[in-house]
Amino acid sequence: MGKLTNNQQEAVKLFNNHVEVGDFWEEAETPEEATNYIWMDEAIELLVKNGWSRKSAEGTIGSLMGVAIEEYDTCYNDNTAQRETLYVVHWQKDCDDCDAGRA
């Protein structure tokens, strides 16, 4: 994996924190082995609440697809009462000490 930009690092740090305290965290021996899920609308709203515009949130998430986020499965979302794609957030070890600032 290449070096993440400050913007990507901050997003991944937010995603890591979100999934740890969310409904889908599955304990494991190490964070890298844990299964961490997020709905796309949750991911976008998380970034928007933390200073991204909706468009920049979508772009940041898009840049992280295949790096820190990947499509998992289509599942029923209780919050929206619809089937939606659930995404896996991969723990990014190099973001444990990410700076709080964004590019």
Residue 52 maps to which CATH number? 1.10.10
Measured CA to CA, the distance from residue 38 to residue 25 in angstroms comes to: 10
- Answer for the pair 38, 19: CB distance below 8 angstroms, yes or no: yes
Per-residue pLDDT at 93: 59
Query: Residue 74: its pLDDT value, please?
Result: 93
Tens of pLDDT, residue by residue over 63-77, are 999 888 889 889 998
In total, how many domains does the chain have?
A: 1
Task: Give me the pLDDT at residue 67, please.
Answer: 86
**Torsion, Cα of 103, 1, 84, 75 (10° steps):** -140
Per-residue model confidence (pLDDT) at position 64: 93
Q: Is residue 74 situated within a structural domain?
A: yes
- Look up the domain containing 63 and give its range: 6-95
Does 102 reside within a domain?
A: no
Contact 62, 47 (CB under 8 A): no
User: pTM for the whole thing?
Assistant: 0.74
Mean pLDDT by 10 residues, the chain (103 residues): 84 84 58 71 94 96 90 89 88 51 34
Q: Note the pLDDT of residue 62.
A: 95
Mean of per-residue pLDDT scores for the chain: 79
Q: Is 45 domain-assigned?
A: yes
Residue where the block lists tokens 């304990």: 27
Q: Is residue 1, in this structure, part of any structural domain at all?
A: no
